[in-house]
Amino acid sequence: MGFTTFGEVRGLFKVPACVLIRDGDAVPQDVPITHWSGDLTQSGRNLPWRNARGLLKPTASRWSPLTTDSERSPYFAQVFQGASLVPRSLWFAEPPSGQPINVKTPFLRTPKSIKTSAKKPWKKIDLRRKVEREFLFGTALAEDLLPFAIRKLRLVVLPVLERDGHLVSLRPDDILAEGAPLASDWARTAERIWDKRRTDENQSVYDRLDYDSLLTHQNPKQGFIVLYNRSDKSNRRVYLHRGVRANRSIAYSGLRRRLRNVSLLRRL
């Protein structure tokens, strides 16, 4: 087992790069590392190894983790990854600007920003429907997170409801049985679009939404949470009271609350 790092090689990648090699001799401590340094900026693209070898210098060292299991934070067990609400164009929504909002059943549409950033084949999806407010939630993307603050919340339509202190994933017929035909129609439409464009024939849109139970595992009664972006070096953390639903690339402790009034809807 060993590491090979290229963080000090100029002209290789735009971000620091490394390779982890594991074999039958894997060890938890004192792991060998080879640090490569050098400059490839003047050598052109796709340089053969026989030519690059003379421009690079290896330095051997060893590495051990800074902490062990016994030194973990007392909050370690409460920290987990948020749900990946994708494809975003099926679940993210916004009320049209400049129009009055029906608080109980607002008319919503797929946000332009979500359509613009979506990947194929989800780029041109444009859902426009009314939805019962019981199925409206708030979320924060990684780009919305600032040090000690959330720049804005985003509205999402989710086929879940709270049951005995837990979130339960619902199908369109279940939502209809709850007396929410509008939310049922939204979920059914999302399901139909997913079935036509998905790449995994064995995964339903609801399985993807609640992948690894990252959505239904959350505790809707949690009063306080710390929200942070796990992939950013800037340590953008936010403390929330009855917080917001975390999205992809955001790890957090605890859960958030459902939107319940027009002031929050208008903020979104």
Percent composition of the chain: helix, strand, coil (DSSP 3-state, to 5): 25, 30, 45
Percent of the chain with pLDDT over 90: 40
Q: Phi/psi zone of residue 254: left (φ > 0), alpha (ψ -120 to 50 degrees), beta? A: left
pLDDT band at 7 (very low <50, low <70, confident <90, very high): confident
Q: Which of 28-42, 106-120, 248-262 has the highest mean pLDDT?
A: 106-120
CA–CA distances in Å: residue 232 to residues 23, 161, 228: 30, 32, 9
What is residue 249's predicted lDDT score, i.e. its pLDDT? Answer: 33
Give the model confidence (pLDDT) of 211-238 as tens digits: 999 999 888 777 777 777 766 555 666 6
Q: Tell me if 158 sits within 8 A of 134, measured CB to CB.
A: no
DSSP letters of 55-85? GEEEEEEEE--S--GGGS-TTGGG-EEPP--
Residues 65-81: what's their mean pLDDT?
Answer: 72
Residues 54-58: what's their mean pLDDT?
Answer: 91
Residue with structure tokens 């916004």?
Answer: 94
Residue 250 pLDDT > 90, yes or no?
no
Give the model confidence (pLDDT) of 174-216 as tens digits: 999 999 999 999 999 999 999 999 989 999 999 999 999 999 9
What is the Cα gyration radius of the chain? 23
Name beta bridge partners: 19.
4
Q: Phi/psi zone of residue 14: left (φ > 0), alpha (ψ -120 to 50 degrees), beta? A: alpha
Least Cα distance to 89 among 219, 217, 200, 190 occurs for 190
Question: Which comes out higher in pLDDT, residue 66 or 74?
Answer: 74
CA distance 70 to 240: 28
Residue boundaries of the structural domains of the chain: 2-66, 76-267
Q: What's the predicted TM-score (pTM) here?
A: 0.66
Lowest mean pLDDT among 118-132, 159-173, 245-259: 245-259
